[in-house]
Structure 1
Amino acid sequence: MKNDLENSEWMNEAPHLAGLKLKHPFSIPEGYFEELPEQIHEAIFLDQLKTSSPESGFNAPEGYFESLSTKIQTEIVGYTVPQDYFQQLQDKINQKTTHKKVAKTIRLWHSKSLKYASAACFVMVTAVGMYFYQYTNSTPPISVDTATEQMLFDIDENTIIEHIQSNSLTQEHPSVAEADLENYILSNYSQNEIASNL
């Protein structure tokens, strides 16, 4: 009973651990017992090979290391360097790299006609450029009507009301609705005519 109580305590404290599947830690790979005899025979065969062969495994012929330097020297004879090669090498490199080339001058104007043709093209391009510059930067003249219309839009309502009151003008109440009057004036008179009559 005490063991059950202890088991339930750790299960409550570590629910993730308690939820893992129970698995035996010592498992045998699949097909282990089927392959075991073959692996044992291979291990015995390798052990017999080690005992039957000499310890180093490689043998060098007698006097190999003593005659090695002379053998290398005889094979190198075909690769000889001429006498004073390295002393002359620096001079040869300097001669090839410090050879100065004479700068070649190319004339752009071979004949007088080419000079005059170039000057004519320059003058023509400049004239066309000036023409288009003046054409794009020129502003059309403002007509009197446009200026008057602009002034009418710039006038503030309070200024108009003050002008009417200072001239002691009275507002008449016509029998026609004000909206109809405004529509009639706007459709039959231009802004210039309205501004000139103020």
Structure 2
Amino acid sequence: MKTNSLNNMNKTGFKVPKDYFENFEDMLLSELKLKETSKNTGFKVPEDYFKSLDSHITEAVKKDNKPKVIKLFTWKKASYATAIAASLILMFNVFYTQKNTLTLDNIETVSIENYLLNEDFQTTDMASLLTNEDLDDFDSIELNFQEESLEDYVFENSEIEDIISN
């Protein structure tokens, strides 16, 4: 059998604060005096207040006091604001236009190369953009390449089938 049953317990587990029973009479008497003196709360309800409460509430609800509303944004104010904004934009566009036009000379070569690489331009696309005058300009450019660098480029960037077929 277990020795931890309720029949074998000697302690209840409850503790009484020190000097509790010595001060108990004084505490009980002070509580009783407090209850006797606090019967009157000091608050009074007017006579027939609860009988007339319903009528007062319904009268207050029936009154339709709508406050005067002043709109912050009206169509008239909005149209004035949009007209002013449109005229300012038009004025800036007319008077402060960019004098320098964009040409190929102003664009960096690296930017053009990156654009062509990223847009997957084919040689046929490029050829359709060039005119005869542009091609004549290319003929006047002298390119000085060494034979070794050209051979290295061809071997590294072309396949054997392309070389044999041509």
Normalization by structure 1: what TM-score?
Answer: 0.33
Select the structure with the greater relative contact order (CA < 8 A; seq sep ≥ 6).
1
More helix by share: 1
Normalization by structure 2: what TM-score?
Answer: 0.38
